[in-house]
């Protein structure tokens, strides 16, 4: 009798085991049984052919409509062409040198057909598809076919060109016939199952692989979703518990110190949300174990001010704070804005600086030797209480005098291991406090899953005086005058003393240097290359924006040049070398703060994701004048791309837009490749749709870990946790 941890070859034979390992990485019986059906075909229902996506590998149930055969012109042999239908649309099947199929695939027969969807002359087709016909009266069929298709519900599995859905089904059936699953194999405690009426593990596996009714599928999936949610939340609960056991130097703010002086000089009043977050951060920093907190908030909600106040509290206590930014443009922007906000407080030890002041050091990969040496010296001596940098901060040569706080900006741009690498630069065995920030709002359950080892704080309100941003979709193909009007609006804003952005998805010179996120539902084919900064900028400067000072910014420019361009753009009309219009890629997506910029035109806006567009438009309307964002697109009305753009134009609620954006993505995209282990461990659980399961699993997991931190009394759960942690560590080592 096979058990879950048995080698797959023992249960299904060496040939099938080798094929399954090569196609899906399966090595054990449990690996096979955790490869759940993606959907179920019902005998009375045919697959909707119109829903098939080009280039997708599919398995469809359809009925043979007609069959023909002919000799090929270009090469020897016979071509068999079969048309199958769902009663509404047709799908063409093409077979080479298999003449017997003309007699086998008779009109009226139903079967499963598996292959990659292509399109020829606007007709969807499968070339050389694998197939199996459903048993019919009078047919001679083998016993495996009868077993696989005897039920009303036929499981359809994610398959490959080498391993078909029904081959997987037969392997699963062979295993289930003799499978032995007892209490020692079940990671879900009896009390949890009993309290929620959940199936045992063995019954759940049978229910999803051999269902008699859709109710069986529902009950089986509900139980298996709990497996995924619970095991992951136990891992995260253990990490939170371990973090609380680590030592850290308490960093309370001191009366009369930098933080108090900074607050006294602020030209504005903190929002209620900023005040609450500040109190939470102060309490966290004052503890003797490291803070691990995620601060998320709307574009422009004032996260940087909250982080700076925390950094000053750490400097007051004699420590240093490091801010890790994903790009040099953002790092330089942070250095400029923080230095400006601190004023004399950032000139410690310098003429004109505050007696109690500190210094701000900037470290990036493209600095020259002298700049880098000066920054490293200020860091290691502690003269720089605030250190700002890119990935360059992670290098071994960077040594801190006393690193007390790590701030990671735009956390989704970094992996968990990069956050850990910087945190490891503390001294004397103590760990620094960690604050990660994101301006991409995260739904509650995503935060619990992706950032489940962190406590979460949220800023929802905008500071007083922030101007509204109006957003409109511009479709030149439907009304050419609208694009001309967009350029005229830029002229009007510049004449009024303001500035503008024009954003393009690509830098230029080579197709493939696309900076935009590829939207998840974008299935259009034969599109022109996305517009490029290096092409659009000269056309604007010589055409509709002639006479205005047009600048260019993208990620391939040298750091000094990028910094100079941002300085000139920030100076605007007040400087002889100022820039009126900045044509840029998404390098300006986060952190760039030019309050005088009031209008943004996004070219090929359909090439960007919903959240990315929300981030981009947050660059305008940051001052007292209202902002305007124009989304230019060639996508036709009614298309998924236009629906995304309409959603952005209709709402400025980042949390709502984030949910719309994430619902359109694959689960793996939501979780992110940098968040180790999550993609492979979640097969049935949706972090967007299964909120009730995730919330309940988190609560139960916290209780279980609090009572039994090492899970000594839960051996099956301990094995499941170890397997997930091992997967995460393997992925970590592969990327190291």
Residue spans per domain, the chain:
8-189, 258-459, 469-651
CATH code of 469-651, in short, is 3.40.50.300
Helix (H), strand (E), coil (C) string for 593-651: CCCCEEEEEECCHHHCCHHHHHHHHCCCCCCCCCEEEEEECCCCCCCHHHHHHHHHHHC
Q: What is the dihedral of CA 303, 309, 311, 313, to 10 degrees?
A: -150
Which token pair is 303? 């996260």
Nearest to 520 by CA among 686, 669, 679: 669
240-243: Cβ within 8 A, 24+ apart: 240/292, 240/453, 241/705, 241/706, 241/709, 243/289, 243/290, 243/292, 243/453
Helix (H), strand (E), coil (C) string for 274-315: HHHHHHHHHHHHCCCCCCEEEEEECCCCCHHHHHHHHHHHHH
Can you give the pLDDT at residue 733? Answer: 37
- End-to-end Cα distance, the chain: 40
Angle between helices 715-735 and 214-245 (to 10 degrees): 70
* CA separation for the pair 406, 561 (Å, rounded): 28
In this prediction, the residues of the chain whose per-residue pLDDT falls under 70 are 43-44, 136-152, 350-353, 411-419, 441, 450, 463-466, 510-527, 590-591, 662-681, 727-736
| Torsion sign, CA atoms 119, 120, 123, 127 | negative
| Torsion sign, CA atoms 628, 629, 634, 637 | negative
Residues 6 or more apart from 636 whose CB is under 8 A from it?
Answer: 477, 642
Using one digit for the tens of pLDDT, what is the confidence trace for 148-157?
555 668 888 9
Which token pair is 25? 């990485």
b/e per residue 713-732 (b: at least 16 CB within 10 A): ebebbbbbbebbbebbeebe
Could you tell me which CATH class the domain 258-459 is placed in? Answer: alpha beta
Identical fold between 258-459 and 469-651: yes
Tell me which DSSP letter residue 97 carries.
S
CATH superfamily for domain 8-189: Nucleic acid-binding proteins (2.40.50.140)
Helix (H) / strand (E) element for 435: namely strand 433-438
b/e per residue 418-438 (b: at least 16 CB within 10 A): bbebbbebbeeebbbbbbbbb
pTM of this prediction exceeds 0.85: no
């Amino acid at each position: 009798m096979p058990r879950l941890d048995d080698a797959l070859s023992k249960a299904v034979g060496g040939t099938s085991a080798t094929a399954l390992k090569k196609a899906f990485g399966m090595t054990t019986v449990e690996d096979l049984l955790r490869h759940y059906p993606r959907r179920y075909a019902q005998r009375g229902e045919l697959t909707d052919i119109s829903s098939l996506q080009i280039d997708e590998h599919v398995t469809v149930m359809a009925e043979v409509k007609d069959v023909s055969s002919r000799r090929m012109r270009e090469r020897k042999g016979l071509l068999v062409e079969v048309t199958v239908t769902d009663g509404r649309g047709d799908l063409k099947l093409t077979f080479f040198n298999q003449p017997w199929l003309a007699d086998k695939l008779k009109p009226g027969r139903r079967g499963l057909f598996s292959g990659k969807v292509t399109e020829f002359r606007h007709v969807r087709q499968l070339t050389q598809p694998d197939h199996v016909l459903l048993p019919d009266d009078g047919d001679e069929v083998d016993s495996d076919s009868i077993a696989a298709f005897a039920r009303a519900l036929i499981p359809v599995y994610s398959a490959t060109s080498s391993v078909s859905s029904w081959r997987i089904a037969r392997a699963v059936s062979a295993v289930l016939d003799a499978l032995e699953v007892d209490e020692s194999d079940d990671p879900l405690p009896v009390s949890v199952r009993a309290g929620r009426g959940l199936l045992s593990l063995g019954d759940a596996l049978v229910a999803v692989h051999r269902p008699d009714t859709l109710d069986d599928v529902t009950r089986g999936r509900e139980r298996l979703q709990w497996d995924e949610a619970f095991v992951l939340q136990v891992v995260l609960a253990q990490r939170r518990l371990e973090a609380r056991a680590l030592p850290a130097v308490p960093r309370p703010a001191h009366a009369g110190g930098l933080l108090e002086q900074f607050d006294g000089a602020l030209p504005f009043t903190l929002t209620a949300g900023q005040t609450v977050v500040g109190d939470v951060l102060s309490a966290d920093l004052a503890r003797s174990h490291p803070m691990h907190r995620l601060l998320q908030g709307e574009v422009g909600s004032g996260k940087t001010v909250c982080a700076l106040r925390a950094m000053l509290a750490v400097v007051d206590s004699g420590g240093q704070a490091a801010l890790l930014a994903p790009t040099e443009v953002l790092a330089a922007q942070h250095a400029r804005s923080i230095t400006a906000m601190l004023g004399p407080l950032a000139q410690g030890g310098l003429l004109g600086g505050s007696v109690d002041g500190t210094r701000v050091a900037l470290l990036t990969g493209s600095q020259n030797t002298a700049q880098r040496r000066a920054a490293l010296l200020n860091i290691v001596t502690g003269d720089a209480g605030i250190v700002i940098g890119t990935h360059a901060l992670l290098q071994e040569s960077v040594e801190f005098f006393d690193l007390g706080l790590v701030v990671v900006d735009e956390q989704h741009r970094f992996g968990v291991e990069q956050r850990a690498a910087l945190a490891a630069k503390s001294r004397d065995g103590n760990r620094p406090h960690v604050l990660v920030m994101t301006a991409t709002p995260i739904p509650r359950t995503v935060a619990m899953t992706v950032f489940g080892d962190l406590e979460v704080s949220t800023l929802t309100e905008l500071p007083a005086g922030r101007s509204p941003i109006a957003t409109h979709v511009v479709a030149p193909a439907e009304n050419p005058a609208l694009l001309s009007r967009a350029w005229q609006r830029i002229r009007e804003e510049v004449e009024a003393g303001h500035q503008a952005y024009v954003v393009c998805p690509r830098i230029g010179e080579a197709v493939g240097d696309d900076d935009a996120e590829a939207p998840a539902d974008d299935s259009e084919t034969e599109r022109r290359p996305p517009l490029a900064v290096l092409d659009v900028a000269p056309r604007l400067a010589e055409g509709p924006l002639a006479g205005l000072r047009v600048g260019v910014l993208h990620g391939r420019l040298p750091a000094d040049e990028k910094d100079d361009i941002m300085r000139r753009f920030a100076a605007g009309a007040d400087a002889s070398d100022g820039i009126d219009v900045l044509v840029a890629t998404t390098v300006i997506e986060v952190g760039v703060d030019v309050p005088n910029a009031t209008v943004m035109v996004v070219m090929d806006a359909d090439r960007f994701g919903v959240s990315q567009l929300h981030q981009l438009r947050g660059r305008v309307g940051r001052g007292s004048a209202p902002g305007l964002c124009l989304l230019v697109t060639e996508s036709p009305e009614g298309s998924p791309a236009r629906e995304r753009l309409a959603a952005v134009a209709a709402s400025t609620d980042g949390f709502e837009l984030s949910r719309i954006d994430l619902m359109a993505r694959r689960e793996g995209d939501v979780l992110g490749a940098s968040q180790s282990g999550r993609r492979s461990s979640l097969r049935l659980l949706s972090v967007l749709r299964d909120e009730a399961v995730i919330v309940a699993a988190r609560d139960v997991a916290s209780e279980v870990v609090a009572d039994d931190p090492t899970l000594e009394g839960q051996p099956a759960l301990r094995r499941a946790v170890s397997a997930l942690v091992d997967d995460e560590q393997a992925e970590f080592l592969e990327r190291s």
